[in-house]
Amino acid sequence: MDERINKYLSSCGYCSRREADRLINDNRVMIDGKPAQLGSRVTDGQIVTVDGNRVFAEEEIILLAFNKPVGIVCTTTDNQGSNNIVDYIGYDKRIYPVGRLDKDSEGLILLTNQGQLMDDILRSVNGHEKEYTVTVNKKLSKDFEKRMSQPMYIKELNRWTRNCTVKMTGDYSFNIILTQGLNRQIRRMCQILGYKVVKLQRIRIMNILLGDLQTGQYRQVTSNEYNELLSQINRD
């Protein structure tokens, strides 16, 4: 073994590479008792610790599909109390959410102990699909699908959205498939077009479906789902 410290922590299932870089900058990561630096490498036989605790590779792969209720925040920190997604689930092993779903939204989110898998899913350049059902506060216009599916400039983020797939499902509702994950993207896009989102639910991440999973419940991703997920990632 000879790999960068951030990749090592990610492959051990401790955290994502981005979080690993933050821990390193905070001088919380040690290699053989010495503070790690960004770009430090780990080889066989070396001892890696975070906050004094040794980091070992995870043996069991955990990947959960969770139907997040409104009001739960997707963070692993303790400052949100009972609204913390990890504390809410109460899983008996260390896991963390793959990406985010804002506090006012509900639906599918994945949680895992595999940092590398988390990085691969979140890498937006790969164009991984996420599907949502959305309800707004007033009747949709006849040209809504066309306008909503085209790129928009979001001033607050100084970013353009990508083309997306939109299908109206009712006078006040639609489905949308995104391949990027800008902050509160759907809400901001609707606001640009003069609508306010009153309900937003994610129903799919790549090949993983929410299905009939009840609000507040989680399930193990099946082996077939996991293998197809890896297949999609490896095609990128």
Residue 162 burial (C-beta neighbours within 10 Å; 0-12, 13-18, 19+): middle
Q: Which two tokens stand for residue 181?
A: 């994950």
CA atoms 227, 162, 109, 172: torsion sign: negative
Task: Find residue 139's DSSP bridge partners.
Answer: none
Strands, DSSP E only, in 127-217?
130-136, 153-154, 159-160, 165-168, 173-178, 197-205, 208-209
* Residues 55, 67 contacting (CB under 8 angstroms): no
* Full 3-state SS string of 191-221: HHCCCCEEEEEEEEECCEECCCCCCCCEEEC
- Among the listed residues 21, 26, 32, 102, the single catalytic one is 102
Give the Cβ contact number of residue 219 at 10 Å. 12
Note if 102 is an active site residue.
yes
* Residues 166, 96 contacting (CB under 8 angstroms): no
b/e for 171-191, b at 16 or more Cβ within 10 A? ebebebebbeebebbbbbbbe
Residues designated catalytic: 102
